Amino acid sequence: MDTAASLRLQRKGDTLLASVSHDGKEWKKVKPLEVKLGVSLSSNSMDVFAPRFDQFQLTFEKKK
């Protein structure tokens, strides 16, 4: 199965907020996680795993 998915990630302090969409219109929120943030991708499929970052944007907010 070769299905694209979009992932939104937002970090607030040590909390990671995430949403996922398969059509770019409807977004399903994922349970917030307490993390020290990094980026890692993995797959449990036996097929070749070749993730693609499309429209990746990294922004920073100044702490108040």
Number of domains forming the structure of the chain:
1
**Residue 53 covered by a domain:** no
Copy the structure tokens of residue 46: 């036996």
Walk along the chain (64 residues) and give the pLDDT tens digit of each residue. Answer: 567 788 888 888 888 888 999 888 999 999 998 877 666 777 787 888 777 777 777 666 666 6
Domain of residue 24 covers 1-35
Copy the structure tokens of residue 45: 């499929």
**Residue 3 covered by a domain:** yes
Q: What is the pTM (predicted TM-score) of this model?
A: 0.52
- Helical (H) or strand (E) element with 34: strand 28-34
**Residue 60 covered by a domain:** no
Rounded distance between C-alpha atoms, residue 15 and residue 38, angstroms: 12
